[in-house]
Amino acid sequence: MSELAYLSLGSNIGDREDHLNRAITDLSSLGTVKNISSFYETDPVEFVEQPVFLNCAVALQTDLSPMELIRQILNIERSLGRQRIQKKGPRSIDIDILLFGDRVINSADLTIPHPAMAQRRFVLLPLTEIAPDACHPVLNKSVRELLEELPPGQKVWKFCKTQ
């Protein structure tokens, strides 16, 4: 049965925009990309001594199970040069499953909804752009409500391509 998954994509090394665009193209092989947010530049959080990120959100209609989807996402990350050298460190691509329908999954390999999404402006702002009324099935709040409840502090701004 087909379900709508919301994903967060980020990149902060190499050609960030190309990494996001290639990841979105690769994700289309896993289902139908229904919507893509604008790209946003964001200051890193937690491990802050690294380059600025480029982030976006993607809505993906897929027939895959959540576990099949995360396995394929990890393959896409590897194919785009992702190396897991330092936790929260610089990366060519990072793809997280934020929401998968109204499912709640807590396993050693996968947690849905993403456990930190409600605290991350760089996740909620792009997601609000494409799915403001999507409901967090644990907190029972819309993505828009979660964004409005965030305290100020995290810098997120629309990406302006310069050529």
Catalytic-residue membership of 82 = yes
Q: Which of 16, 43, 63, 82 is catalytic?
A: 82
Query: Is residue 89 pLDDT above 80, yes or no?
Result: no
**pLDDT, greater one: 85 or 78:** 78
Write down the pLDDT at residue 162. Answer: 58
Residue of 16, 26, 94, 121 marked catalytic: 94
The pLDDT of residue 75 is 94
Topology given in CATH for the domain delimited by 3-158: Alpha-Beta Plaits (3.30.70)
CA distances from 137 to 46, 77, 133, 134 (A): 26, 27, 12, 9
pLDDT-derived band at 163, boundaries 50, 70, 90: very low
Structure tokens at 138: 């644990």
- Across the range 35-64, mean pLDDT stands at 91
- CA 45 to chain centroid: 14
26 is catalytic: no
Who contacts 105 (Cβ-Cβ below 8 Å, separation ≥6)? Answer: 66, 111, 112
| Helix intervals (H) in the chain | 16-27, 66-79, 121-130, 143-149
Higher pLDDT, 83 or 74: 74
* Known active-site residue 94: yes
The residues near 24 (Cβ < 8 Å, ≥ 6 apart) are 9, 33, 36, 56, 58
List 26, 71, 84, 96, catalytic entry: 96
**Hey, what amino acid is at 70?**
I
